[in-house]
């Protein structure tokens, strides 16, 4: 798969938390050749089903992104905004954003505020409007904006806004195309509103009622940080999640993923993250509980406009996900 092209295609869609319709439509078109059926549920999750007679396996990758939402337009035409998801002011200052209607602007800092003291409330969006009336002809209160930074590759890295979590959406698409012989009943769910509190995966997991759940997401690569908040490094392989702040992964899933990595000679590493969560947090407590784990892609500079992943890790994640989907699993409630 040409990951750069797929990421550029997905990022061209407007898809902040709460307004994922454009990206869901694009993903549906890309996934349909590998599916028996596709549908969008009430909340907006895209569910892609490959039918099987075995246990239900739910893979989940969120398709929403962080973003900005307009809260006020002043007399000079400058836009105040709130955040959709986790956004740090230093990550977006002096970067371009675009609205769903194509209007673009740049994030700037209010006068008499120093960079070292700034908060998100000290920033504003400048769309080049002449005054308030001009701005209101272009943008309305409640309109949302997403990063307009470009994606690019180096020799072995991919850099782009919203690799959290568009790269995992690409991984799911690629894995679907490689799955051949399988007996499991496979559900690939592109979830909404993960960045606002794992909202989409809750009804999706309840409706599917899976026997196994795998969240596919990025994880913080902390090799440049001596605080050791995370355990993964770029180029170390697919990361098998052990825990994060939303979940302690089921030991049976961790064991299966580790054995698949060894038997298939897939480069793998362990993912222990002390802050941040994934859709696994909602899936594992659905109904009577679900055996849940995670396949993570190490990522630098998460929630910035220049997130970075290793293309080798991406390939390893595809292989590990494919191996889990093709493994003959058993339905069991007694896991002791």
CATH number of the domain bearing residue 82: 2.40.30.40
Residue 335 lies in a domain: no
192 plus 255 within the same structural domain: yes
Say which residue, 330 or 280, is predicted with more confidence: 280
Residue 303 lies in a domain: yes
Say which residue, 336 or 80, is predicted with more confidence: 80
pLDDT at res. 223: 66
12 plus 142 within the same structural domain: no
CATH number of the domain bearing residue 229: 3.40.630.10
Distances (CA, A) of 250 to 8, 27, 161, 255, 264: 35, 29, 31, 9, 21
224 plus 313 within the same structural domain: yes
Residue 26 lies in a domain: yes
Say which residue, 83 or 227, is predicted with more confidence: 83
Looking at residues 180-206, what average pLDDT do you find? Answer: 97
pLDDT tens column, 150-167 = 999 999 999 999 999 999
Domain boundary residue among 113, 147, 181? 147
Structural tokens at position 281: 């947090």
Would you place residue 49 in the very low, low, confident or very high pLDDT band (cuts 50, 70, 90)?
very high
pLDDT at res. 230: 83
132 plus 50 within the same structural domain: no
Looking at residues 77-89, what average pLDDT do you find? Answer: 97
Residue 316 lies in a domain: yes
Looking at residues 36-49, what average pLDDT do you find? Answer: 98
Spatial CB neighbours of 160, under 8 Å, sequence gap ≥ 6: 7, 8, 11, 149, 150, 151, 152, 166, 306, 307
58 plus 124 within the same structural domain: no
pLDDT at res. 44: 98
Q: For the chain, how many structural domains are there in total?
A: 2
Residue 173 lies in a domain: yes
193 plus 77 within the same structural domain: no
Looking at residues 101-109, what average pLDDT do you find? Answer: 98
Looking at residues 92-103, what average pLDDT do you find? Answer: 98
pLDDT at res. 335: 53
Residue 331 lies in a domain: no
Would you place residue 326 in the very low, low, confident or very high pLDDT band (cuts 50, 70, 90)?
very high
Q: Determine whether 194 is an active site residue.
A: yes
133 plus 13 within the same structural domain: no
55 plus 88 within the same structural domain: no
- Choose, from 37, 75, 194, 326, the residue flagged as catalytic: 194
The whole-chain average pLDDT of the chain stands at 96
pLDDT at res. 222: 75
51 plus 165 within the same structural domain: yes
Domain range for 122:
68-147
20 plus 142 within the same structural domain: no
76 plus 109 within the same structural domain: yes
Residue 155 lies in a domain: no
Q: In what order do the strands lie in the sheet with 152-153?
A: 152-153, 157-160, 307-310
Residue 175 lies in a domain: yes
pLDDT at res. 10: 98
Looking at residues 25-35, what average pLDDT do you find? Answer: 98
pLDDT at res. 336: 52
pLDDT at res. 68: 98
pLDDT tens column, 195-241 = 999 999 999 999 999 999 999 999 999 766 666 678 999 999 999 99
pLDDT at res. 229: 73
Looking at residues 93-110, what average pLDDT do you find? Answer: 98
Integer Cα distance of 200 and 186 in angstroms: 18
132 plus 178 within the same structural domain: no
Cα 232–Cα 86–Cα 104 angle in degrees, nearest 5: 115
Domain boundary residue among 91, 124, 147? 147
Domain boundary residue among 91, 120, 147? 147
């Amino acid at each position: 798969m040409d990951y750069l092209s797929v990421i550029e295609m997905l990022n061209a869609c407007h898809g902040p938390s709460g307004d994922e319709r454009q990206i869901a439509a694009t993903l549906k078109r890309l996934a349909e050749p590998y599916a028996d059926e596709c549908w969008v549920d009430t909340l907006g999750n895209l569910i892609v089903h490959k039918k099987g007679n075995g246990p239900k396996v739910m893979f989940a990758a969120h398709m929403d992104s962080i973003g900005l939402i307009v809260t006020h337009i002043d007399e000079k035409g400058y836009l105040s905004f709130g955040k959709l998801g986790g956004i740090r002011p230093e990550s977006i200052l002096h970067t371009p954003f675009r609205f769903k209607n194509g209007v673009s602007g740049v994030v700037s800092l209010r006068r008499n505020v120093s960079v070292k003291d700034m908060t998100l409330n000290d920033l504003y969006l400048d769309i080049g409007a002449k005054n308030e009336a001009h701005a209101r002809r272009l943008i309305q209160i409640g309109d949302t904006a997403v990063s307009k930074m470009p994606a690019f590759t180096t020799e072995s890295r991919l850099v782009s806004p919203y690799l959290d979590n568009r790269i995992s959406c690409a991984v799911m698409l690629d894995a679907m195309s490689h799955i051949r012989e399988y007996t499991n009943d496979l559900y690939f769910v592109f979830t909404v509103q993960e960045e606002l509190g794992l909202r989409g995966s809750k009804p999706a997991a309840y409706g599917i009622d899976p026997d196994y759940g795998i969240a596919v997401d990025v994880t913080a690569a902390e090799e440049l940080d001596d605080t050791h908040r995370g355990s993964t490094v770029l180029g170390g392989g697919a990361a098998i999640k052990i825990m994060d702040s939303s979940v302690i992964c089921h030991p049976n899933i961790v064991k299966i993923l580790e054995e698949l990595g060894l038997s298939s000679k897939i480069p793998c590493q362990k993912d222990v993250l002390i802050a941040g969560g994934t859709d696994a947090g909602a899936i594992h407590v659905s109904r009577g509980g679900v055996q849940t784990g995670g396949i993570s892609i190490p990522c630098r500079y998460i929630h910035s406009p220049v997130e970075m992943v290793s293309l080798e890790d991406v390939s390893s994640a595809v292989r590990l996900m494919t191996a889990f989907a093709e493994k003959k699993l058993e339905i069991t409630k007694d896991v002791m």
